[in-house]
Structure 1
């Protein structure tokens, strides 16, 4: 058998043709993506908020209808449409004043509270993202606020101003675990979501990953 001696140009051509079409163009894009990290902040659209908003709406509707039906019954209109909404309840022993009135008050209050809760979920107040861009050298903190002037809360900081990642732990009945970005000028920016309690293991893991990615130290 004769061995074929390949020149350097032939070897280069052989290697280039062995790479799938389009791979050479994709490699720089993949490398660029490794320089950008984005952490999503859920905000008010948490499963627990959906659950409690529904429970409050259901309970307050029951109280409100009960109060209205007790008034309807005591007013002598026991065959009315509102009374028939709750045919399984007996309103003979429920006087409109004060029981029915209190039920109507608390039912209406809970009804308004549930609607406010649903609006917070719809607007996703507190939701957004934290972006760390080593490719272009900036940190971007974005949050959704209440409708109006401050609906979009968007801050950008130079990556070179970042000095360290700070972790703050507060124990007690309402434990708080927060990650801060410590910038030049003793400025500290919280980046964890409000109302998103993280376990100690999760907060340590996230802070460690972020510090390694940004090549900064961790302060406690």
Structure 2
């Protein structure tokens, strides 16, 4: 989070918050596990088919190709495809970006990274006076959700926080209160 101040006043005129995208440690972990695990399973399946040991730590040549070798090969290819997808998402940093609120230009700008093509960079801009509230959404349970939304006149609520693991409640409340104070709008949902 960055705030820059104007020389004419002591209050910050710009509030910028970065949003963590796909470059999270958990995504790196799972991409690595899927890549190496998939490679191991695919090599085990190929070893059982060719009856040549392609793995330095095991001897899958003893496996019957039908059904064990083919199943291992299938799981290996599936894991490699998922691992490759995760590596692409990480390299593009899908979902990463920033939220910027600028009182000097009276604009808010929300920028996120997407996939290739026209939607590679997703940008939303609005005048600050169209912001009616900052909303906090909290859902506990098996699939908890804790997020901040920006309520803009005549538009659906715009999410401001990252997707994935929920933000701690204290951080969510602090971020929401700070943003509501900065924009001078009510904080809803607490």
Name the structure 2 match of 1:90: 59
Q: TM-score, normalised by structure 1?
A: 0.79
User: What runs of 5+ residues in structure 2 fail to find an aligned partner?
Assistant: none
Tell me if the contact between 1:66 and 1:103 (Cα under 8 Å) persists in the aligned partners: yes
Name the structure 1 match of 2:170: 201
Q: TM-score, normalised by structure 2?
A: 0.90
Tell me whether 1:57 sits opposite 2:35 in the alignment. yes
Tell me whether 1:45 sits opposite 2:27 in the alignment. no
**Shift of the alpha carbon at 1:87?**
3.9
* More strand as a share of residues: 2
User: What runs of 5+ residues in structure 1 fail to find an aligned partner?
Assistant: 1-26
Name the structure 1 match of 2:49: 71
Equivalent residue for 1:121, pick from 90, 95, 108: 90
Q: CA RMSD in A?
A: 1.9
Aligned CA distance change for structure 1 residues 46 and 31 (closer, same or farther; 3 Å): farther
SS at match of 2:80: helix
* More helix as a share of residues: 1
Q: Distance in 2 between matches of 1:168 and 1:122?
A: 30
Aligned CA distance change for structure 1 residues 31 and 118 (closer, same or farther; 3 Å): farther
**Shift of the alpha carbon at 1:34?**
2.0
User: Which has the higher Rg, Structure 1 or Structure 2?
Assistant: 1
Runs of 4+ deviating beyond 3 Å: 27-33
Tell me if the contact between 1:71 and 1:100 (Cα under 8 Å) persists in the aligned partners: yes
SS at match of 2:166: coil
Q: Distance in 1 between matches of 2:6 and 2:100?
A: 20
